[in-house]
Structure 1
Amino acid sequence: MPYGSCEELPAPVRDNLPRHAQEIYRKAFNSAWEQYRDADDRRGEDSREAVAHKVAWAAVKAVYEKNDAGDWVEK
């Protein structure tokens, strides 16, 4: 279930991340969705969707971090 736009992202992503971070999340999720299509390509028992979400959050955290106020800001 790749995301066609940021408006399709889960509410916690849309409601908390700045637009640029949402784009990073969407692109990383969609890429991981394709990359980890086969269960043999995934570690552990995580579903394809769970792996794609983990990859997407890791991609966001490589560029963004939470500040003291709890807002996501660019590093």
Structure 2
Amino acid sequence: MPYKTVSELPESVREHVPKHAQEIYKEAFNSAWDEYADSDERRGEESREEVAHKVAWAAVKKKYDKGSDGDWHAK
């Protein structure tokens, strides 16, 4: 289920992640969704969606850190 806009992202992303990081998340998720469509491309028993969310968070973590306030902030 690729995301067309950031407004479709999970609530946890929309409420705690800055707009720029939401764009990163969306693009990384959509790319991983396409890349890992074939279950042979995924490790273990994770679903396509689980893998795409992990990839998206990894992309966000390259430029943002989670603060003690629960929100994400630019490094």
After TM superposition, where is structure 1 displaced by more than 4 Å over at least 4 residues in a row? Answer: none
Counterpart amino acid of 1:33? W
What RMSD, in angstroms, separates the aligned Cα atoms of the two structures?
0.8
1:66 Cα deviation (Å)?
1.7
Uncovered stretches (5+) of structure 2, i.e. residues with no partner: none
Following superposition, the deviation at residue 68 of structure 1 comes to 3.4
Note the C-alpha offset of 1:11: 0.5
Q: Find the aligned partners of 2:67 and 2:7 in 1 and give their Cα distance.
A: 24
> Kindly, what percent of the aligned residue pairs are identical?
64
Deviation of residue 67 (structure 1)? Answer: 2.5
What number of residue pairs does the alignment pair up?
75
Query: 2:6 maps to which residue?
Result: 6
Q: Measure, in 1, the Cα distance between the counterparts of 2:18 and 2:29.
A: 16
TM-score normalised by L of structure 1? 0.95
